[in-house]
Amino acid sequence: MATDTVDRPSDHIRGITVTALASLLGIAAAFGSYTITTDPTATAVVYALVAAIVVQFPVLRVTGLKEEFSTKDYLYVAFMTFALWFVCLTILFTADVSL
């Protein structure tokens, strides 16, 4: 109805926000991993990825988007962050970029 008020963002805005945050933090984690070590076989490159995944959930809770997160949503955020991290880090290592 036209008189109903909506207290939470629409599902579309929620999806865009969650995807954008996961993607941007995945890219930031790739640059963070690359600055930590330039050795692709080092275990330390994963630390920035784990931090990027873990930091998203409190941010989503503060913004009010995490009220109804299911297991599928957690897996989606982790996968999107990992996918962008992996692609960007592969490009950085392959192109031998100096930061």
Question: Rounded CA gap, 89 and 54, in Å?
Answer: 19
| pTM, full prediction | 0.81
pLDDT number for residue 10: 77
Counting Cα atoms < 13 Å in the Cβ hemisphere of 67 gives 8
Q: What is the pLDDT of residue 55?
A: 94
In this predicted model, which residue has the larger pLDDT, 2 or 73? Answer: 73
Mean pLDDT: which of 17-21, 38-42, 82-86, 90-94 is highest?
82-86
CB 53 within 8 A of CB 81: yes
Q: pLDDT tens digit string along 41-81?
A: 888 889 999 999 999 988 888 887 767 778 898 899 999 99
In 3D space, the residue among 42, 35, 27, 43 whose CA is nearest the CA of residue 98 turns out to be 35
The whole-number average pLDDT for the span 87-93 is: 93
